[in-house]
Amino acid sequence: MILSQRSLVLIGILTFVLPSAHAQHQRLGMEGSNPVQRGQTLFDWVWEPTTLPRTEGKSDGLGPMFNARSCAECHHQGGTGGAGSKIHNIEILTVRLKALDLKNTTIPGESNSKKITTSNQAKNGSPLNQSLDPETIAKLHAGLSNSASVLLHKGSLNSGYYDYQKFLKESNHDFSIEIAERNTPSLFGLGLVDKIEDSILIEQEKRQQTLGLSGRLARTPDNRIGKFGWKAQKATLREFIEEAAAVELGLETPKMHQASDPRRALQNATATDLSNEQIDSITAFVSNLPRPPQADARNTGLNGGQIFYAIGCGGCHVANLGHVKEIYTDLLLHKMKHDLHDPENYQIFGHSKPLENAKNHAGALPGEWRTPALWGVGITAPYMHDGRALSLEEAIDEHGGEAEKSARNFQTLEVDQKMQLMQFLKSL
Ligand code: HEC
Ligand code: HEC
């Protein structure tokens, strides 16, 4: 496993390897007085690629695809592990597979009937100038051969990637490709969330009808209750962290392959970049992050608290979940306004596509979002899953769907009531 120090940043294609890097990494993984400290070092660690070919059986560090070079690069607002600004949003690309059915046909009802063909050639010469079929879709992005949605990575060790990325984003108007974003949430207090018992969440789901709501539990493909991620797509903190390492940083882990170049078929790394023990350490560090600090302004927000419940915010943003006090979420999936929806064909990675009306289908539908916890919400702007709301008021305006009534109640508040509510929210 090869790492080098933060001060020795190597960008792009590397031409040398630091002789002491391996030893440093050994220290990184094996020393440190406790797992939490080792985990923090790994969370902050700025990963770099190595020049060693994979065939040598050595780990290859960062990449080949990555969204950032460290966990902390995205999770840092208000301290290590915090939320992230919009520039760190990750991008998810979804292709409308419906178009497949229409291959080589004209689109009915289009004003100037046209074939579904690509109008542009990828600048790097990929043979994309043909009609859409599954093979072409896979050529577009190898990950699309088994999922309707894939991550569109920001960074690659291959500079040719950037032209390809531009092509996907800008010049493919005849493809039905849509890009959705995810904003970086804060990780404070997640160790407590990890320990919330299923029975507590099942209770929340049962209460929905009495509240006039229809929130539901997210289930993983193996039928465990999902708690983590904007779609509640992962059941445990450790699993989320292992996937984040593989997907965001391109680190091969014991259970997850590092993200591979979308222009090529899956290429597995021949060695892991992170050991189980190291993933345990990162998990220990994140689990150990305290809940967000409660502001002193808390007491002045008391009326705001009453307003919060009176206008129905507390239906979804439930104050206490079992032993976890003042978290303000039910961790259930709720249908939100149409404008917030993921692309129609969106599919959570690794899930089969949920059926719109099937009971107990596993993953979240395109229009469903897990209620975010409101603890610490004063310092986690921007808000909502894609960071579209810059202020708390904007976030409330963006609700709709199941929260339509509650959001409308908010509009009818007097100015000073709104202010009290804001004060309350900021004190959480
Ligand atoms: C490129 C920015 C970026 C990097 C790098 C990154 N994350 Fe994240 N993180 C995100 C985003 C965006 C989400 C929300 C993703 C989603 O819900 O689909 C997230 C979600 C999470 C969650 C779930 C939070 C919740 O409330 O359920 C955990 C845990 C997490 N990240 C840990 C990590 C760890 C550990 C690392 C390093 C191995 C890491 N992240 C690297 C952006 C990043
Ligand atoms: C039907 C359930 C529901 C109700 C009722 C509800 N919310 Fe939400 N809230 C959500 C969901 C789900 C999201 C995330 C949606 C998204 O990201 O697209 C959210 C997001 C938020 C956010 C942004 C949090 C973040 O970290 O980005 C704030 C702030 C918020 N709600 C406050 C309120 C307030 C105040 C009220 C009352 C006026 C309210 N909510 C009523 C479900 C609800």
- pLDDT of 125 above 70: no
Asked if the structure places residue 226 within a domain, the reply is: no
Cα–Cα dist 427/408, whole Å: 23
Asked if the structure places residue 231 within a domain, the reply is: no
pLDDT attached to residue 362: 78
- Identify which has the larger pLDDT, 303 or 28: 303
Both 301 and 423 in one domain: the answer is: yes
Say which range, 131-140, 170-179, 331-340, 351-360, has the weakest mean pLDDT. Answer: 351-360
For residue 265, count CB atoms less than 10 angstroms from its CB and return exposed for 0-12, middle for 13-18, buried for 19 or more.
Answer: exposed
Structural element, H or E, at residue 92: strand 90-95
Cα–Cα dist 200/203, whole Å: 5
pLDDT attached to residue 389: 98
pLDDT band at 116 (very low <50, low <70, confident <90, very high): very low
Among 289, 304, 331, identify where a domain stops.
289
- Region 110-124: what's the mean pLDDT? 36
pLDDT tens digits, residue range 133-163? 667 777 788 888 888 899 999 999 988 899 9
Tokens (6 digits) for 134:
């599954």
Both 95 and 69 in one domain: the answer is: no
Say which range, 92-96, 273-277, 396-400, has the weakest mean pLDDT. Answer: 92-96
Q: How many domains does the chain have?
A: 3
pLDDT band at 285 (very low <50, low <70, confident <90, very high): very high
pLDDT attached to residue 302: 67
Phi/psi-derived region of residue 223, left when phi > 0, alpha when psi is between -120 and 50, beta in every other case = left
Average pLDDT score, the chain: 82
Tokens (6 digits) for 141:
């992005």
pLDDT attached to residue 316: 98
- Identify which has the larger pLDDT, 207 or 121: 207
pLDDT attached to residue 108: 33
- Identify which has the larger pLDDT, 33 or 83: 83
Cα–Cα dist 423/300, whole Å: 8
Tokens (6 digits) for 8:
């020795």
Both 272 and 324 in one domain: the answer is: no
**Which residue has the least CA distance to atom 32 on ligand 1?**
241
Both 8 and 34 in one domain: the answer is: yes
- pLDDT of 102 above 60: no
Both 261 and 344 in one domain: the answer is: no
pLDDT attached to residue 271: 87
Asked if the structure places residue 205 within a domain, the reply is: no
Cα–Cα dist 246/232, whole Å: 19
Asked if the structure places residue 212 within a domain, the reply is: no
**Which residue has the least CA distance to atom 25 on ligand 2?**
383
Residue 371 Cα to ligand 2 middle (Å): 6
* Domain enclosing residue 393, as ranges: 296-427
Strand partners, 236: none
Asked if the structure places residue 201 within a domain, the reply is: no
Asked if the structure places residue 199 within a domain, the reply is: no
In degrees, to the nearest 5, what angle opens at C-alpha 186 toward C-alphas 340 and 27?
A: 135
- pLDDT of 175 above 70: no
- Identify which has the larger pLDDT, 50 or 306: 306
Cα–Cα dist 193/227, whole Å: 8
pLDDT attached to residue 332: 98
pLDDT attached to residue 359: 53
Both 76 and 94 in one domain: the answer is: no
Asked if the structure places residue 213 within a domain, the reply is: no
**Of 101, 167, 165, 169, which is closest to residue 134 (Cα–Cα)?**
101
Contacts of 42 (CB under 8 A, 6+ apart): 28, 29, 71, 274, 278, 281, 282, 285
Cα–Cα dist 136/372, whole Å: 38
Helices (H) and strands (E) in the chain, counts: 14, 9
Residues with CB under 6 A from ligand 2: 213, 311-313, 315-317, 334, 336, 340, 369, 371-372, 374, 377, 380, 383-385, 392, 395-396, 399, 402-403, 406-407, 410
Contact in structure between 178 and 93 (CB atoms under 8 Å): yes
pLDDT band at 334 (very low <50, low <70, confident <90, very high): very high
Both 408 and 378 in one domain: the answer is: yes
Both 175 and 107 in one domain: the answer is: yes
- pLDDT of 355 above 70: no
- Region 38-44: what's the mean pLDDT? 96
Q: For residue 126, how many other CB atoms are within 10 A of its CB?
A: 14
Both 301 and 405 in one domain: the answer is: yes
**Of 379, 373, 341, 372, which is closest to residue 75 (Cα–Cα)?**
379
Both 303 and 417 in one domain: the answer is: yes
With the C-alpha atoms ordered 223, 198, 325, 211, is the resulting torsion angle positive or negative? positive
- Region 10-17: what's the mean pLDDT? 37
pLDDT band at 295 (very low <50, low <70, confident <90, very high): confident
* C-alpha radius of gyration, the chain, whole number: 23
Strand positions, DSSP E, 216-267 = 218-219, 225-226
Nearest ligand to residue 208 Cα = 2
Contact in structure between 150 and 144 (CB atoms under 8 Å): yes
How far does CA 107 lie from the centroid of its chain? 34
pLDDT band at 361 (very low <50, low <70, confident <90, very high): low
pLDDT attached to residue 221: 87
CATH number for the domain spanning 331: value is 1.10.760
- Identify which has the larger pLDDT, 259 or 265: 259
Q: What share of the chain in percent tops pLDDT 90?
A: 61
- Region 124-129: what's the mean pLDDT? 33
How big, in percent rounded to 5, are the helix, strand and coil portions of the chain? 35, 10, 55
**Which residue has the least CA distance to atom 42 on ligand 1?**
184
- pLDDT of 131 above 60: no
Site to substitute for ligand 1 among 184, 233, 242, most atoms within 8 A of C-beta: 184
- Identify which has the larger pLDDT, 288 or 49: 288
Contacts of 199 (CB under 8 A, 6+ apart): none
Complete DSSP assignment for 166-189:
HHHHHS-TTS-EEEEEEPPPP-TT
Phi, psi of 270 (to 5 degrees): -95, -5
Both 37 and 122 in one domain: the answer is: no
Tokens (6 digits) for 159:
């500079």
Asked if the structure places residue 9 within a domain, the reply is: yes
Q: For residue 247, how many other CB atoms are within 10 A of its CB?
A: 20
Strand positions, DSSP E, 224-302 = 225-226
Residue 172 Cα to ligand 1 middle (Å): 29
Nearest ligand to residue 336 Cα = 2
Among 256, 289, 322, identify where a domain stops.
289
For residue 84, count CB atoms less than 10 angstroms from its CB and return exposed for 0-12, middle for 13-18, buried for 19 or more.
Answer: buried
Say which range, 31-40, 64-73, 77-86, has the weakest mean pLDDT. Answer: 31-40
Cα–Cα dist 139/122, whole Å: 11
Residue 369 Cα to ligand 2 middle (Å): 9
Both 418 and 361 in one domain: the answer is: yes
- Region 198-215: what's the mean pLDDT? 97
Residues with CB under 6 A from ligand 1: 43, 67-68, 71, 73-75, 84, 88, 90, 182-185, 187, 190, 228-230, 237, 240-241, 244-245, 248-249, 282, 286
pLDDT attached to residue 5: 43
**Which residue has the least CA distance to atom 38 on ligand 1?**
245
pTM (two decimals): 0.87
